[in-house]
Amino acid sequence: MRPEPTNWQVIKVKHKQSIKVWDPLVRLFHWLLVAAFFVAYVTEDDLMVLHVWAGYLLIGLLVFRVLWGLVGGRHARFSDFVYPPRQVLRFLKETLFFRAKRYLGHNPAGGAMIIVLLLSLTMTGLAGLLTYGVEEAAGPFAPWAGGMDERWGEAFEEAHEFFANFTLLLVFVHVMGVLVESTLHRENLVRAMFTGYKRAEHAKE
């Protein structure tokens, strides 16, 4: 009869079977962005002060993510997960037939989704700041947007709402993609974004 493994042996085995993928700043960014977008989305009309500050936080997070995408860790960099459109389409096709490769970092479709989300959130924030400047004569654009015609404020507000709703749609697609990949590769990707660790074996570097 084999002796029961000690706690140290169990920890050692688990360590060999997993690998650190998401650094603490990427994980903090991810969940703060989720919270900021949710707060901003549900407080649009009723709690303007909270809405505005959630928007400022969101914009600050976007600036950080762009910088971290250039100088951050390996799997945080854009160079690690931005793929040509042809490769993204091939990955989606392979996913439909349950043949998609597993990636340690973001897969081609996930990388494309991140770029689209960052762009949509940027447009949401920019349109929101312009709306705030025209309608409230406040915010960083107030000095020159405050004197603009109200019709501009309405146009900016419509753009703000469009991109906010488009971002929400992207979030749902993103969540569905996470669930599909988690099922396909039998891996809890949501938990990985909390812990930073993913399974080490059978992954494309």
How does residue 131 score in pLDDT terms, banded at 50, 70 and 90? very high
How does residue 80 score in pLDDT terms, banded at 50, 70 and 90? very high
Q: What is the value of pTM for the model shown? A: 0.87
The single residue listed with the structure tokens 């479709």 is: 109
Task: Give the residue-averaged pLDDT of 51-69.
Answer: 97
Q: Each residue of 169-187: pLDDT tens digit? A: 999 999 999 999 999 999 9
The domain segmentation of the chain, as residue ranges, is 21-199
Round to whole Å and give the CA distance between 165 and 170: 9
Does residue 71 surpass a pLDDT of 90? yes
State the DSSP string of 183-194. Answer: HHTT--HHHHHH
**Per-residue model confidence (pLDDT) at position 44:** 76
Query: Angle between the 24-42 and 150-184 helix axes, to the nearest 10 degrees?
Result: 130
Q: Which CATH number does the domain 21-199 belong to among 1.20.950, 1.10.10, 2.60.40, 3.40.1000?
A: 1.20.950
How does residue 151 score in pLDDT terms, banded at 50, 70 and 90? confident
Q: Each residue of 2-31: pLDDT tens digit? A: 444 444 333 343 445 889 999 999 999 999
198 phi, psi to nearest 5 deg: -130, 165
Does residue 78 surpass a pLDDT of 50? yes
Largest distance between two CA atoms of the chain: 84
**Per-residue model confidence (pLDDT) at position 12:** 41
CB atoms within 10 A of CB 135: 17
120 in Cβ contact with 167 (< 8 Å): yes
